[in-house]
Chain A
């Protein structure tokens, strides 16, 4: 039981490049989330999904897109990376009732 996994662990991009971050969970959770963590700012919600085929905007969605084609996967895309998107990105999943979130190990992204 791997829990929540994220790919890749670390990536360096040049301004304007695109990339996709993959999040996978094997706990059959309905809800999935993408956060970014910046120094002194805690975790901020980018996008989230309440089920397969659904997505919704969070607090800081600009510059990102997401897709949830399969229940176990939640993809975060950067179409044209900017230095302001340098951050650590966390994926999380959760289930109704307890509302506890389970986090992946994070992806560190550096945009030059």
Chain B
């Protein structure tokens, strides 16, 4: 069975600094997708970034980028130039093709300090 682990329950970062959130997963399959979702205090789940496992190039979306290490089964999220609006819970998620099901990590609460 697939699992997703986020080992940092809480993190903080100074505004304008860079922070990296870690995520590891366990699977013996090759065809899967990985996601980072953001959940601000409003509770709305927002897609931040996605990565296809077959792509070696790391995904980037503006200030958000990932470090995808397939062999190590690691999928970390880097937030550059952190902003107060980045304060949120961040969830890592794994999707295995053909199963239609997603597995979420337990989340990392990020606080951006002014």
Contacts and interface: CB of A to CB of B under 8 A. Distances in A.
Interface of A: 31, 33, 35, 40-45, 48, 50, 56, 58, 88, 90, 92, 98-103, 105-106
Contacts of B104: 35, 42-44
A40 B100 contact: no
Given A43-B91, A90-B45, A101 B102 contact: yes
Which of A31, A41, A43, A100 lies at the interface centre, i.e. has the most chain B CB atoms within 10 A of its CB? A43
B44 A102 contact: no
Interface residues of B, number: 21
Interface of B: 33, 35, 37, 42-47, 50, 91, 93, 95, 97, 100-102, 104-107
Contacts of B42: 105
A39 to B, nearest CB: 10
B44 A105 contact: yes
Given A45-B102, A50-B100, A98-B50, A105 B43 contact: yes
A61 to B, nearest CB: 12
Contacts of A103: 37, 44-46
B50 A48 contact: no
